[in-house]
Structure 1
Amino acid sequence: MKLFENDNFISPGSIGGKIKKIRELRGLTQKQLGIMCGFSASSADVRIAQYEKNKKIPREKTLKDICEALNIDVYCLFDADMLPYQRMFHALFDIEDFHGLHPIKRNNKYYLEFSGPTVIGQDILPHDFDEFLKEWYEMYQQHLPNPSDTKKEKEKKEANYALWRYEYPINVAEENTKKLQNQMKMNHLQAQMDALNAEMQGEAELSQLDSAMADALAASKKVYRDITKESEFILLIKKLIEADIPIKRFSPEVSTKIDYDHMHIISIKTQDIINNESNKSYFAEFLCQIETMQRAGLNINRKITCKNNELYVTYEIASSQWKYLENLNRYWDDIIYIKERIGSWPNQEIDELNKKFLNKITGPHDMIIN
């Protein structure tokens, strides 16, 4: 069905119409674009003119070359001639099938929403396209003309908005990549500052921690019984976590260097110990168990680490001896699972969880430390 009597009319939604529009937005002639696509100077303008008039459809490689030259997403160059309403209707029906778009009614007004089943058997949830719609909405609002805008300013906004759409999602990916690169640079600089901070304050921080722990450690040693199994150490870590001692499962330091000789056990923010009497008693028992394992020949050391200018005391074990404590990491998620349910589950069910956990960690794999 012809909407226009003029046979030279090219729909802006067709492949050719889009190539022409984007080329003009980029300020390129047909010849310039053709040469950028690798065509000879003698035929460059003719080739592009044929594509723009839809007399020829670019092959896949040529289509990719045109997209690369125009710096647009390859998916934006497809035939979307929807000037007849019927074509638009059926395009929406296609989107319903493939991406769950369907009409909804709210407050006696009709809207379109992404949700529901698709032809590939997956359900689309309302939030699945939220990020796309958010980006689209923000750019649409940003380029709306103001009453005070001149004609030239309005045209510039229209052109920039059109180019944003043709470049999507490449432009967003590039922007996110830049943000990620900048964040990585910031993280690297912060890591260098943290490493320097830990080096400068490490000795003084350990001395302050030892001094603050002296009384609690002495009291703990009077009642402490040497442990002989890894499960006893795991149960202590579980006890600390359930007492809301802020233990870090992984090393808090961010470093570009990997220490292959040592494995992280736990880290605790030093000030959370120094400034909290209740935490000191729990930590004292932890120190007693560390000393027991060290006397048994395990190479466990401590150091001050730092992240975002906050100091942590970090305990590590030699990688060659990690087998003696590997079950701590293996069952850490179980510990957190139980901790999160304390207070919300009946005591009987928590007791049952604890029994199952105890059976897990005291099986035939339970290593004797001494």
Structure 2
Amino acid sequence: MAISERIHFFRTMRNMTLKYLGTVIGFPEKSADVRLAQYENGSRKPKADLTAALAEALDVSPQALDVPDIDSEIGLMHTLFALEDMYGLTIAETDGELCLKVNKDKSSDELVQMLTSWKEQADKLSNDEISKETYDRWRYYYPKYDTSKIWAKVPSQELSDALTEAFKDYLKDK
């Protein structure tokens, strides 16, 4: 789905009008609906800063808006072919159903862990352990709410220097 369709999808999901979303992200009220319509109909593509503002207003991650263009079956097929080349995605039939499978031997451990985490969340939804709203929040902000992996942030050099300075006398005594 192109970014224009994703903007429309999330806007309608949030029950927002074009004018309302346009004004929330800072367009003048007189032209907010027209300006936003240009992004939704694909005549303009938002730059990174506008994509970030739209994502914040729509309460999703910017990555949830700017996904590969899979708005046609042909586009989707070529995306799937690329995933086959890059990650070992294969197609199979199981119990009369077509299934996409990830070859664990050809995929990174990180991708396998991410997909496993996705399956765990989907299973929780299926078993009524979480709501559709919780599941969608997990998906649309991925990896922010993923608890299956520690997404460590490296401290800044400034913080590291401050900690070193604060504890240097303590460390000398040891």
CA distance in structure 1 between the aligned counterparts of 2:51 and 2:123, rounded to whole angstroms: 31
Aligned residues of 1:22 and 1:163 also touching (Cα < 8 A): no
Aligned residues of 2:88 and 2:102 also touching (Cα < 8 A): yes
In the TM superposition, what are the counterparts of 1:61-76 in structure 2 within 5 Å?
A: 61-76=49-64
Match of 2:142 in 1: 168
Structure 1 residue 129 corresponds to structure 2 residue 40: no
CA distance change for structure 1 residues 106 and 35 in 2, over 3 Å: closer, same or farther?
A: closer
Aligned CA RMSD, in angstroms, stands at 3.5
CA distance in structure 1 between the aligned counterparts of 2:71 and 2:105, rounded to whole angstroms: 25
Of residues 43, 51, 58 in structure 1, which corresponds to 2:31?
A: 43
In the TM superposition, what are the counterparts of 1:87-236 in structure 2 within 5 Å?
A: 87-98=75-86, 100-103=87-90, 111-115=100-104, 124-125=107-108, 127-144=109-126, 157=132, 160-172=134-146
CA distance in structure 1 between the aligned counterparts of 2:20 and 2:44, rounded to whole angstroms: 19
Amino acid of the structure 1 residue aligned with 2:115: L
Match of 1:262 in 2: 173
Structure label with greater radius of gyration: 1
**TM-score normalised by length of structure 2:** 0.67
Identity of aligned residues (%): 25
- Structure 2: stretches of 5+ with no match in the other structure: 153-165
Match of 2:155 in 1: none
Of residues 39, 45, 48 in structure 2, which corresponds to 1:57?
A: 45
**TM-score normalised by length of structure 1:** 0.35
Amino acid of the structure 2 residue aligned with 1:144: S
Deviations 1:325-367 (A, max 9, x none): xxxxxxxxxxxxxxxxxxxxxxxxxxxxxxxxxxxxxxxxxxx
CA distance change for structure 1 residues 44 and 106 in 2, over 3 Å: closer, same or farther?
A: closer
CA distance in structure 2 between the aligned counterparts of 1:92 and 1:61, rounded to whole angstroms: 29
- Structure 1: stretches of 5+ with no match in the other structure: 1-12, 118-123, 147-155, 181-256, 264-370
CA distance in structure 2 between the aligned counterparts of 1:161 and 1:21, rounded to whole angstroms: 17
Deviations 1:286-311 (A, max 9, x none): xxxxxxxxxxxxxxxxxxxxxxxxxx
CA distance in structure 2 between the aligned counterparts of 1:116 and 1:176, rounded to whole angstroms: 23
Deviations 1:123-163 (A, max 9, x none): x34x33233122211221233387xxxxxxxxx72x55444
Secondary structure of the structure 1 residue equivalent to 2:102: strand
Structure 1 residue 80 corresponds to structure 2 residue 62: no
Deviation at 1:18, TM superposition (A): 1.1
Secondary structure of the structure 2 residue equivalent to 1:260: helix
What is the aligned residue count? 153
Deviations 1:45-104 (A, max 9, x none): 2211221222322223222221232232222223433442x3322111112333x23327
CA distance in structure 2 between the aligned counterparts of 1:78 and 1:105, rounded to whole angstroms: 25
Deviation at 1:108, TM superposition (A): 8.9
Deviation at 1:116, TM superposition (A): 5.6
Amino acid of the structure 2 residue aligned with 1:22: F
Deviations 1:208-239 (A, max 9, x none): xxxxxxxxxxxxxxxxxxxxxxxxxxxxxxxx
Deviation at 1:115, TM superposition (A): 4.3
Match of 2:162 in 1: none
CA distance change for structure 1 residues 40 and 143 in 2, over 3 Å: closer, same or farther?
A: same
Secondary structure of the structure 2 residue equivalent to 1:170: coil
Aligned residues of 2:22 and 2:36 also touching (Cα < 8 A): yes
Aligned residues of 1:72 and 1:168 also touching (Cα < 8 A): no
